[in-house]
Structure 1
Amino acid sequence: MVAVLGCAVALGISAVLAEREDAAAEVQMDRRTTAAAETVRFETRRYVDALRMAAAAAGAQQTLTAPEYAGITEPLRDMRLAGVSSVAFVVPAANGNVARVQQTWRDRGATGLTLAPQGDGDHAFTVFVTTLDGRPVPTGIDMLQASAPAAVLAEARRSRDVSVSDTYQLLADQTLPPALRQNSFVLAAPVYQASEFLGWVQLAVRGQSFMGATFAQAGQGLLDLSLRADDSGRRPVTVAELRSAAAGERDLDRTVSVPVADGTWTLHVAAVSNRLPGAHTGLPLAVAGGGLSLTALLTALVWVLVTSRERAQARVRAATADLRAGEAETRRQAVLLQAVLDGISDGVGVVGPDGGFLLHNPAARRILGESGSHPRPDSWPEHFGLFRLDGVPFPAEEMPLARALAGESSDQVEILVRNDVHPDGRVISVSARPLETASGERGAVAVFHDITDRKHVETELRGFAGVVAHDLRSPLTTVRGFAEMISDALAAEPADLALARRGADKVITGAVRMEQLITELLDYTAARDATLRIAEVSLHAIVDDVVTARVDAPDGADLRPDVFVGRLPVVLADPVLLRQVIDNLVGNAIKYTPPGQAPRIDITARAGAGGAVSVQIADRGIGIPDGEHGAVFDSFHRASNGTTHPGTGLGLAICRRIVERHGGHIEAAPNPGGGTIFTFTLPASAVGPSVTEVTAGAASG
């Protein structure tokens, strides 16, 4: 049936085509005209797009210079834009500022630029020129001296887009013999830097050279092509034309409009009908042969389709088997994952975007004392009995899982769990991370670790440290007192007792260092475990108190510290612990200053991200060696800079503990002028004055 029907259709079409050869010629002419017009449109669009790209690149420069313009226009050489003589950058100039404009563009690389204004009023001068046809083009030409360039520049600036001029003869071609001159045109694109108008990028194009190769391609030796545009007097003139080598009367012709930038040109097409493919008597025979061949192909295809049913069914069976195997593997992986989660001692919980638990392993239920229900996130503290370590109910919005749902990760947050299952309370450590669900929405995953036993041990160690520190202070005080008595008694003795005096002094020094170590160990413990008494604190008042005390008691230094204090805000902090941070950092800045140099300290503040205040304490001391700016905050770490300054290595560790307990962070960085800059953040007070970058302030010292 396919073969019979195909043969009948092929022969029928062949007969119809034989009777309508003339109509076929008309259709062929329309198609070729459309193709020729599209070729012309494509070529003109290529020029317009190239110019628009060059103008955009020029506008993107912060300061357009001659080398930058040469680099911008260099790709135009590789585009082989037929007929383009040059691409020039044109700038506007009023009659009174020609000299200033000339100097401006000389400074930007147009050395030797001389502007030649024509007449009074406004001018538009070429300042940069890139020649594309090898013919030199001078700069400084006033483009407004010719009506066509003047009109296209004005229209391009008005429309803020590429504009095409009327047809005219280029100023650079006026020196050529009349037989060599071509009807040409100009494409201009405005250049803007932000919203400021800078000038134009202008392409000068010779018409016949522009369309010669394009017409040869579009005409294919069968069509006469003529492209016409208006001149400045609105008279149509020929921009480019091509006559085919086909002999005979041109009995078919078409006229179409071709848009060029913001203008419209006219394309005239003529042809000899019996020279067009498809307009001769061989077409019906070709269609008949092609139809019969297609019929044979379709017949073979139908046969293949009929016999391919069994092959398709075999492929379906194989795919089904693979799908079942994949499903079985997925189930096995799910069972394995569930077994792992059920077997680990740490709790794991996964919640969806609404806060509902998607996964809760047995360890998590045991640690939290979970009763089987799934409360909303805002009721988690009440449902599970979650408190801070000081007994205050844990805020729902600060829960690690709640923060992870908001996209914020958290690590080792310590929470007290006290409920019916854990009436005595359990201390757990929680770490949480955001999690993308299969639907693309955000969920969260948390890991719970029971640290109750560890906290008990830490409490016992802190109590032991307190007792030891208290018991050690009394004998140290006695040792130091008797050593000072011995030193005073030996001061008036003969010089042969100098060794004994030095020994007594060493005992006093050792006792002082031991007292300092005990004090800082207790401070280190208190910085982590003392109850925070948050209040609105004047940072300026605390800094002023610390600076006054340090300047009035410079530890025996001969040079008085020079301290600059900028405008500081009100913050939310524990005043006692905050004073300890400021005192440690200022004390370090004074202590670690090279001998013979007055300590210089700058204390400033500025607004940070998320409603925080960023405080900076910058010194001009000996600095911290590269690679140790993070390690100096570790316990008992002392920078390896070769100094002999005494210390326990706990001061900066205490600062970090206090700042982190306030929800901030502290870091150290090199000071460009020498020394170190310590930066830490604190919560800002809602009622305090705004913080600005400090440029002036009160100086002490």
Structure 2
Amino acid sequence: MRLRRWMRSAMALSVLVALAGLAGTAGVAAVLVAGQRHEADDQLERRTELMAEAVTTEADRYVDSLRTVAAATAALETVTASRFGQVAAPLRRMSLAGATSVAFLVPAADGQIAGVQALWRSRGAPDITLTPVGTGREHIFSIFSEPLDGGLPAATGTDVTQLPAPDQAFTQARRTGQTTVSDTYLLLRDRDVPPDRRQLSFILTAPVYEPPDAAGRQEFRGWVLMGIRGQDFIGATLRRISQNLLDVTLSAQGADGARVAVATLRATVSGERDLHRDVDVTMAQRQWHLSIEAPSERLPGGSGVLPTTVAVAGGVLSLLLAGLVYVLATGRLRAQNQVRAATAQLRTAETQARDQASLLETVLNSINDGVAVVDADGEFLLHNPAARRILGVELHGTAQPESWQAHYGIYRPDGAVPFPVEEQPLVRALAGERTDGVEMIIRNARHPNGVRIAVSGRPLGPGAGRAGAMAVFHDVTVQHAREAELTSFAGMVAHDLRTPLTMVVGYTELLAESVDAGSVDPVTLRTPLTQISAGAERMGQLIHDLLVYATARDASLHSTDFDLADVASDVVTLITASLRPEGEPMPRVTVGALPTVRADQNMIRQLLDNLIGNAIKYTPPGEAARIDISAYPDRPGWVRIEVADHGIGVPEGQHEAIFAGFHRAHADGPYAGTGLGLAICKHIVDRHGGTIAVADNPGGGSRFSFTLELGDPQDPDGE
């Protein structure tokens, strides 16, 4: 009875609502349909943003992982199969979806293949055979390979230049120095897979350079490569977000420039795909395209019976209330789903951060050089085991830089004078100054005999957190001992050779006196005696030049501030005083205004002696040598010194070769020499951080120039 009454009331109410709302029913229904369409469109927009962010984040993770492996490989002193396997090991624990393997590759020209093959066989790949494809170009061979998908290692020795897509990626990575993604193609290892199981793939590659030398130069070592199957990559990344409601296509530019589908994900739900979104995502240096389609009726909020029920006059009130409850319920459910998705993303990001931290820790713990990082107050934030081993003292509890010298036992290279706080590389780095290869002695309870280390410091900007600095320690004790041994050997050889040479010269002079006295036939003995004397002088000069050459290369620098004009005038006086003016005009040397410089005075004296001596020697016979010494501004804090002459000049094409050891530009002429003079000059200038060059003098002859650091004119000859 009550139900019938309710039905009657509902019918009456429906009739009244229908009569009252007939005029507005069509408009209300249209508005509701448009709202559903808008809701579905918003759903697709949000899911598109989530997908693009997920693809970009995942791509960045792959790129960062490969870049870290490249940096770890570059830090190795010698790349071997076992060390590369250790560097690549953390990638296997990261579960990189679609990643097939990580490999190390090197370049080789046609004439280098045999040597490169022998080198890598000796470094852990005894069975490797390099198989070039074609000739007349540089080849790229895979050397080491570590599987990441649980399969067998990829074949090594393959010339990857046979495939245009990876070849272009390697070229661009080497040219830009950045991680690069290739065009899509079929991996070599997938060519034997059945057609219905094949996937288009791509590679990520990063260049590997040698650790920088003392001058900051880096030589190219090779590449690291990661192969990625596109379908596995997109499936693992986007399946959770699509919830089987969206059709997803990830496409990239192919080798021919056309857009090629890398991977697709198809929803099994039915319905017309009437909603569409396109968005670009970044993969290394490329922009990839993400295309998403969906049936609006399958998306939350995209369909319902509300417009139909509004048109039915009998149930308008109940259906509106039901529609309101539905909208509220589904809205709360969507909010809960978004919270769950955000929580899952945070957990994933946390896991990735832990993996990256673990990889960084593994790399730091595996290198032999010590690394330490301090904050702006001098508190140590990070250090590796090598730093503790080299310094012999724990790196904590010493936040004040003033206490570092006593705590670690830091001394100047002489081992006796404490190293000043303000000159320590980390202190200078905290002040914003870069330093390279600063040598010092560490002597403490752990190292009672002292170890010699070379320290490089770098300031860290605000991008690294709290502004601070880092230092890299390299133990050069053994290297320094070997250099000292070689210097000692050179001195010993020189001493042992001088004794017989002195005897030869003495007997030569005695025989010459006998010839002059008429006791022997002068015609018979004069020429041999002259040759003996000249040969002895030649050997003596060679020994002298060898010792100076070794000193210029290996001797410690003792830099002071001194007046360069005084040193140049002294050198000119000594050289001209030793000349014999009989038959030859005296040289005319003009010393211009020269500044105070900071350098090793003895080495600079040798440098000027060689350059001025050469200018006098390489002057045509019978002409007076004319030499001008002048100074010009260079980069801030440096000066360029020029020694210009009007002699015979440097032959065309030999302006760089003359600075090599034992090279003589006029070997066939009447100008004697050992070929070490200019090599000594180059070593001296290089040791002072400057440059040396030669150019033709517009007035005839040569113009040698070298750069030196300016000193303090208020304190010449000061320490």
TM-score (norm 1): 0.49
* Rg comparison, structure with higher value: 1
